[in-house]
Amino acid sequence: NSNRPSTAIAHIYRGTFVHATEQTALQILEDALLGVDTEGKIAFIGKGEELDKLSQTFGFSLSEVTQLAQHEFFMPGMVDTHIHAPQYSYAGTALDMPLLQWLNTYTFPVESRFKDLKFAQEVYTQVVRRTLRNGTTTACYFATIHTDASLLLGQITNDFGQRALVGKVCMDRNNSVKHYKETIQESQEETCRFIAELLDKKYPLVKPVVTPRFALSCTGALLGQLGAIAKNNNLHIQSHISENMEEVKLVKELFPESESYTDVYHKYNLLTDKTVMAHGCHLSDEELNLFRETGASLSHCPNSNISLCSGLLNVSNVLKHKVKLGLGTDVAGGYSASMLDAVRRTLDTCKFLTIQDPEHHTLPFEEVFRLATLGGSQALSLDNQTGNFEVGKDFDALRVNVAAPGGPIDLIQHEEPKILLEKFLNLGDDRNIMEVYVAGRRVVPFTEQTAE
């Protein structure tokens, strides 16, 4: 073993791997060998027949190789590019109103309760556990305006080993709930405290994200300050855009000097290549061009768009404009915290558009698989670390057994990997997800520390 590379191999897996690449929406590697080093990075990907050669080069013994079963495969962990952690507390309810009424009636009263750290701890633990075991290895979270509870969310994602962007929400106007609002000064100071304290913890997989709730909740002055904070510290930014027609109309009234909703954020330096904006159902082609030019991305949240009757995002048109795109659950506007649901609702949305206009091009499931994995990592500018199986990236992966006993899928015979993936995406659930890995570490099933 004298020519062993500098990093030691910790795990070797053999079997079918499916993932998306820049070139192909679905690449299938049958009887592949993948090695993960002690830092959780993918050290090599080879073919089964190269086993002897690889074991010599990388210095592992054949007994260390984990062999997948017949109906199993590894796929990259899924990336939820937009989820509200506090709203998990009422997920699956309260879907009977359009967006702005829904926010005032349900959302703000519930979010105001997260001043209570005990309540926050309970809900945030539940949402991180639920998303992880449904295969979300990376999540981009909105918390609430409360700095300490937002820091707690960062701690919980770190404890469970989920990769996360966490945002303390900023809002200084238009709110139905008296105490659920900040002054501009509080919002600015608390954002800085949140960022400094989160970075100070040095959690390896958790990053802060500057989070103006949306243009209707923030004065221009606050948007400008948040744009400056993000720029000076080279931080991620997240918000909402063009979700519902009434919202778009009110933004035009509140910001008459701006040419469009997109232009409002652009003016305040909030559209960067580290920005992700949720929804974008009603953006014009010019606005999509501005997204492409600035490198900002969109998060498609189809369950929420349907549940709140907000609109139908034309994904083909977004991709035609070469705007980076990921998928989001948008809990609790979206009632499901599972990215498998986001995949299905994305396909449904395409089909609704095709029903309305037979010329509309429906996406193949492979393309939606790409959006849920590599697309999401690109939308969050994390694609140098995660999103697919490339040497040097972190091993963020799901071990899927399509024929898991007691699971939702019946298989009569062995089927080809592409069919197994399609069945899992359409019919599968957490019973099919045998193991979840983030940065090489197995985080599901939960360990003693993370079990209830």
Tell me which residues touch Fe ion (CB under 5 A): 278, 330
Residue type, 434: M
C-alpha pair distances (Å), 153 with each of 149, 193, 242, 390: 6, 15, 27, 30
Binding mask 193-232 for ligand GUN (x = CB under 6 A): --------------------xx------------------
CB of 304 to Fe ion, least distance (A): 7
- Going through 20-121 in order, the beta strands assigned E by DSSP cover 27-37, 42-47, 65-67, 72-76, 78-84
Binding mask 132-161 for ligand GUN (x = CB under 6 A): ------------------------------
103 binds, among Fe ion, ligand GUN, none (CB under 5 to 8 A by kind): ligand GUN
| Nearest of 21, 6, 137, 67 to residue 389 by alpha carbon | 21
CB of 385 to Fe ion, least distance (A): 24
CB of 212 to Fe ion, least distance (A): 12
Q: Which of the residues 84 through 103 are near ligand GUN (CB under 6 A)?
A: 84, 99, 103
| Nearest of 291, 295, 280 to residue 241 by alpha carbon | 280
Which of 140/278 has CB closer to Fe ion? Answer: 278
214 binds, among ligand GUN, Fe ion, none (CB under 5 to 8 A by kind): ligand GUN
Residue whose C-beta lies closest to ligand GUN: 333
Which of 43/379 has CB closer to Fe ion? Answer: 379
Asked if residue 257 lies in contact with residue 233, where contact means CB atoms within 8 angstroms, the answer is no
- CA 31 to chain centroid, in Å, comes to 29
CB of 240 to Fe ion, least distance (A): 5
Rounded CA separation 121/143 (Å): 12
Among 167, 227, 311, 333, binds ligand GUN (CB under 6 A): 333
| Nearest of 308, 275, 365 to residue 20 by alpha carbon | 365
Asked if residue 149 lies in contact with residue 115, where contact means CB atoms within 8 angstroms, the answer is yes
Which of 304/373 has CB closer to ligand GUN? Answer: 304
Among 16, 55, 107, 329, binds ligand GUN (CB under 6 A): 107
Angle between helices 339-356 and 417-427 (to 10 degrees): 90
CB of 225 to Fe ion, least distance (A): 22
CB of 244 to Fe ion, least distance (A): 11
CB of 108 to ligand GUN, least distance (A): 9
Element (H, E) at 263: helix 261-267
DSSP 8-state code for residue 387 = S
Per-residue exposure over 264-299, b if at least 16 CB sit within 10 Å of its own CB, e if not: bbbbbbbbbebbbbbbbbbbeeebbebbeebebbbb
Which of 172/394 has CB closer to ligand GUN? Answer: 172
Rounded CA separation 289/266 (Å): 12
Residue whose C-beta lies closest to Fe ion: 330
Give the tokens for residue 130: 């639920």
Residue with the two structure tokens 């008459």: 256
Q: What is the DSSP string of 145-187?
A: S-HHHHHHHHHHHHHHT-EEEEE-EE--S--SSTTS---HHHH
Which of 46/333 has CB closer to Fe ion? Answer: 333
- CA 178 to chain centroid, in Å, comes to 31
Q: Which of the residues 237 through 266 are near ligand GUN (CB under 6 A)?
A: 240, 243
Instruction: Please tell me whether the peptide bond between 372 and the residue prior to it is cis, using omega within 30 degrees of 0.
Output: no
Which of 99/339 has CB closer to ligand GUN? Answer: 99
72 binds ligand GUN, rule: CB under 6 A: no
Binding mask 284-323 for ligand GUN (x = CB under 6 A): --------------------x-------------------
Question: Residue numbers of the site for ligand GUN (CB under 6 A)?
Answer: 84, 99, 103, 107, 213-214, 240, 243, 304, 330, 333
